[in-house]
Structure 1
Amino acid sequence: MASSNDYARKILNSPAHAEPCLVHSAKQILRAENWVFLTGKSHVEYRKVLNGLFTRKALGIYVGIQDQITREFLKRWLDEHTADPTPKPIMFTCRDLNMVTSLRVFCGSHIDDAGAREITQKYWDITLALELVNFPLPLPGTKVYRAIQCRKAAMKHLVSAAAKSKIAMASGKEPECMLDYWVRAMEEPGYKGRKDFTDDEMAMVVFSFLFASQDAMSSGLIYGFQHLADHPDIYKKVREEQDRVRGSNPDRPVTLEMLDEMPYLRAFVRESLRVKPPVTMVPYKTTKAFPIADDYTVPSGSMIIPSFYNSLHDPEVYPEPDVLNPERWLDPQSSANTNPKNYLVFGAGPHKCIGLEYALMNIAIVLADAITMMDWDHVRTEKSDEVEIIATLFPKDHCLMTFRPRASA
């Protein structure tokens, strides 16, 4: 276990000596040929193509989808709490929101509602199978077996979506989702990457994005709701910023330009993720002897785990590290901003999270729309501050909340 920032970063930035292995069954669940398991030049070249799916131009397409779906879900939450105002855990409601949002961002209308529901309902089996300690063989009835069946079901829908996207773009339609944007980008005159991606390959990429985003983004969003409710002063500042940016029109759709005018919200999201990072460690496996220190070489074939928590709670970089303080990100000269190497929420090195801007944007949009549309209270229990690790971090009581329409604009 590498607990220091230097050692953690050395592992993350040494692809010649170590590669991410996640858990023993990861390649069985995600498929060994999935691009996330590539290393070296092949990984770099593949990633270059996928980086284009998260440019500002691409994010500009996604933001409207995220905003629309978020509002639909928040209205549904309000209706449910109006009918039954008792506190309810938001863990799975947030997960459902994130899954539907991601499927629509990635696949648009190329996956129908029934397909989206099937993936959403079954995906929890993948989360459970990717816990660090699990029976590793895919025997019927095991978590790994159920996860593989879920992946197969999801891939059928995703392969079909990739095929439909190619047909839609060939007919001259405008891109409405990530798959469309990818297909259209490959047709651009200046495009220099691969153009022969099969439907199956594109589906595997989308599936890997779901895997990378769903649990981590849900963890970040749940703690975002909890942290705002538990800090009324921060809650007030986020709301005041929203009222200023949106003016007299709370229903105004969110755009990238509007998000640029929300520095306090963006600082809060970064800080909330720092205090409660969704992922605190990522198992790596050495591919050959790794001289990690002058006095120690990690043997080939060993599991070596970079830990992120200490880096994100270093008191020299983040004074009072356990205190939620968004202001630390507003000063360009603060120690938080001048030590970006410590902010390992999204990892580092060649396998750093490719969709970090998408994840930050999605959490920000949900919290921005929520604080504009409604009020909420966190009902604390004896387990509210305890952590449950199910692939990523969650409050042990699954975060009990009450929602109601906003009292005043």
Structure 2
Amino acid sequence: MGQRRAQLRLCLPQVCPARSPLLVATVAPDANVLLGRFVVIASSRDLARKVFNSPAYVKPCVVDVAHKLLGRDNWVFLDGKAHVDFRKGLNGLFTRQALEIYLPGQHEVYTRYFKKLVDATKENDGKPLPYMNLFREIITAVSCRTFVGHYISDEAVKKISDDYYLITAALELVNFPIIIPFTKTWYGKKAADMVLVEFTKCAAKSKVRMNAGGEPTCIMDAWIMQMVESKRWRDAEAKGEIPEGMVKPTPLLRDFTDYEIAQTVFTFLFASQDATSSAATWLFQVMAQRPDVLDRVRDENLKVRNGDIHKELNLEQLESLTYTRAVVKELLRYRPPVIMVPYEVKKEFPVTETYSVPKGAMCVAGVYPALRDPEVYPNPNVFDPERYYSGDAETRGAKNFLVFGTGPHYCLGQHYVQVNLALLLGRAALELDWKHHPTPLSEQIKVFATLFPMVCDAPLRLDGSEMVY
């Protein structure tokens, strides 16, 4: 096919054919693009799944500059056995037992920020305010509290929230993949380095506390505790004096440096920040437009709390919120934060019987069409939680729901994300009241790493936000 130059444009039609052929193009140089790259988009469900499930042919690449921001030796770029081995040590950070540990910190963040939302509206004389940036700050705060606990200051969380968009902008495909002063990639690198410095300091503090016998309260604690327990086992084994009742940790972890820990936890923030901010923004907007759905969420959450709106739910209670979780899952289908996942082709990839993607090309797994398949999701452009509450979308759409990917690189935090969004929505339904003030562009979509409403500075406006006590 050769290196034909054709401008590649992203299109999100109202109805996407779920079984359309491959889209093959190169990103062409123009005023903002300095480097062409051959791109193949797998736009059907089965082809996207084939890309996700073909580690022998492809590896995650994000964009070329990502290695400079996240580190070329970052675990997300590892391949094959190295990736599998590293991932084994992270799986335990997202079990049900682990997720239960993180809930108190998440409750704490939502309590503080709900008050901030109400106060901001009052200070504006009750007039509507743009809230997307506040949602980004809320998600940054809850992510940091979940990932690094109280080792990070509120000021550092605010700084990360304010600067994180620089990292996102640096990862746009059209950027030149080198760091040049005062360009998007340069500002993004400075922001990424700032986050890594903060997380490295958190890792050092966590090591001190875990070695002193502290109880884990965040993901960093839980991971370092595995390292502490692994070292104790190795030391005991070396001495030939394994205490009775001591259980060998599985897997045994090596001692990671503070920077390695920070680098890994940063990838969790990288994976969650824009995506969850997008989901939260759309969630509040969609709920404001559908008060009947919000009323059902409110009733379900009030019932599980036995009428006490201040009650903090545990994981089992959150998982019992079947309608609330159906709303969250339908929102992720209706406005999927991630619509495509790029991979680099390691060797010629026979993606179909008649076409092979050349080595070095970017092969993109497109997930949007699978989530709009009318054969699986009747009236796919309609937001309808009943698909997952009383319908059969959970079973019929098992192969189509590619929001979190599939295969060896599927998202580790997929259960965490859905539970966290259910917690956010349930508490907001009980403690806040909000109204959407639509604009002509409210329902139009823009892509900035993830899907957001088209109006950048004010995609969602709320007023009348008063605690409902």
- TM-score of Structure 1 vs Structure 2, range by shorter chain: over 0.9
- Look up the SS of the partner of 2:172 in the other structure: coil
Residues 154-175 of structure 1: per-residue CA shift (max 9 Å, x gap): 1111111111111101111211
Residue 305 of structure 1 aligns to which amino acid in structure 2?
A: V
- The aligned residue for residue 205 of structure 1 is 264
Residue 355 of structure 1 aligns to which amino acid in structure 2?
A: G
Of 372, 375, 382, which aligns to 2:433?
375
Of 385, 390, 403, which aligns to 2:448?
390
- The aligned residue for residue 358 of structure 1 is 416
- Alignment partners' CA distance in 1, 2:441 and 2:328: 23
- Look up the SS of the partner of 1:173 in the other structure: coil
CA 1:56–1:335: 2 relative to 1, 3 Å: closer
- The aligned residue for residue 336 of structure 2 is 277
Of 150, 153, 159, which aligns to 2:200?
159
- The aligned residue for residue 246 of structure 1 is 305
Q: Give the deviation of 1:193 after TM superposition.
A: 2.8
- Alignment partners' CA distance in 1, 2:156 and 2:130: 25
Residues 217-250 of structure 1: per-residue CA shift (max 9 Å, x gap): 0001111111111112211111111111122211
- Look up the SS of the partner of 2:339 in the other structure: coil
- The aligned residue for residue 401 of structure 1 is 461
- Look up the SS of the partner of 1:301 in the other structure: coil
Specify every segment of 5 or more residues in structure 1 that has no aligned partner in the other structure, as ranges. none
Worse-matched range after superposition: 143-152 or 107-116:
107-116
- The aligned residue for residue 34 of structure 2 is none
- The aligned residue for residue 191 of structure 2 is 150
Report the structure number with the largest CA radius of gyration. Answer: 2
Structure having the higher helix fraction is: 1
- Alignment partners' CA distance in 2, 1:399 and 1:254: 30
Residue 103 of structure 1 aligns to which amino acid in structure 2?
A: C
Could you say which structure has the greater relative contact order, defined with CA pairs below 8 angstroms and 6 or more residues apart?
1
Worse-matched range after superposition: 395-404 or 319-328:
395-404
- The aligned residue for residue 49 of structure 2 is 9
- The aligned residue for residue 367 of structure 2 is 308
Worse-matched range after superposition: 193-202 or 384-393:
193-202
Of 56, 68, 71, which aligns to 1:31?
71
Residue 464 of structure 2 aligns to which amino acid in structure 1?
A: R
Q: Is 2:403 the counterpart of 1:345? A: yes
Specify every segment of 5 or more residues in structure 2 that has no aligned partner in the other structure, as ranges. 1-40, 230-246
Residue 214 of structure 1 aligns to which amino acid in structure 2?
A: Q
Q: Is 2:162 the counterpart of 1:121? A: yes
Residue 209 of structure 1 aligns to which amino acid in structure 2?
A: F
- Alignment partners' CA distance in 1, 2:45 and 2:433: 39
- The aligned residue for residue 132 of structure 2 is 91
Worse-matched range after superposition: 125-134 or 367-376:
125-134
Residue 304 of structure 1 aligns to which amino acid in structure 2?
A: C
Contact 1:375-1:407 at 8 Å conserved across structures: yes
- The aligned residue for residue 43 of structure 1 is 83
Residues 252-284 of structure 1: per-residue CA shift (max 9 Å, x gap): 112212202211000000000101100111121
Residue 266 of structure 1 aligns to which amino acid in structure 2?
A: R
- Alignment partners' CA distance in 2, 1:123 and 1:146: 10
- Look up the SS of the partner of 2:351 in the other structure: strand
- The aligned residue for residue 260 of structure 1 is 319
Residues 295-322 of structure 1: per-residue CA shift (max 9 Å, x gap): 1111111111111111001011111111
- Look up the SS of the partner of 2:399 in the other structure: helix
Worse-matched range after superposition: 107-116 or 85-94:
107-116
- Alignment partners' CA distance in 1, 2:338 and 2:409: 14
Q: Is 2:144 the counterpart of 1:73? A: no
Q: Give the deviation of 1:185 after TM superposition.
A: 2.7
- Look up the SS of the partner of 1:296 in the other structure: coil
- Alignment partners' CA distance in 1, 2:305 and 2:62: 42
Residue 139 of structure 2 aligns to which amino acid in structure 1?
A: N
- The aligned residue for residue 376 of structure 2 is 317
CA 1:407–1:165: 2 relative to 1, 3 Å: closer
Q: Give the deviation of 1:153 after TM superposition.
A: 1.4
Q: Is 2:220 the counterpart of 1:179? A: yes
Q: Give the deviation of 1:357 after TM superposition.
A: 1.4
- Alignment partners' CA distance in 1, 2:289 and 2:174: 32
Q: How many residues align?
A: 408
Worse-matched range after superposition: 173-182 or 378-387:
173-182
Contact 2:226-2:253 at 8 Å conserved across structures: no
Give percent identity, aligned residues only. Answer: 42
Residues 321-342 of structure 1: per-residue CA shift (max 9 Å, x gap): 11111111124x7144233110
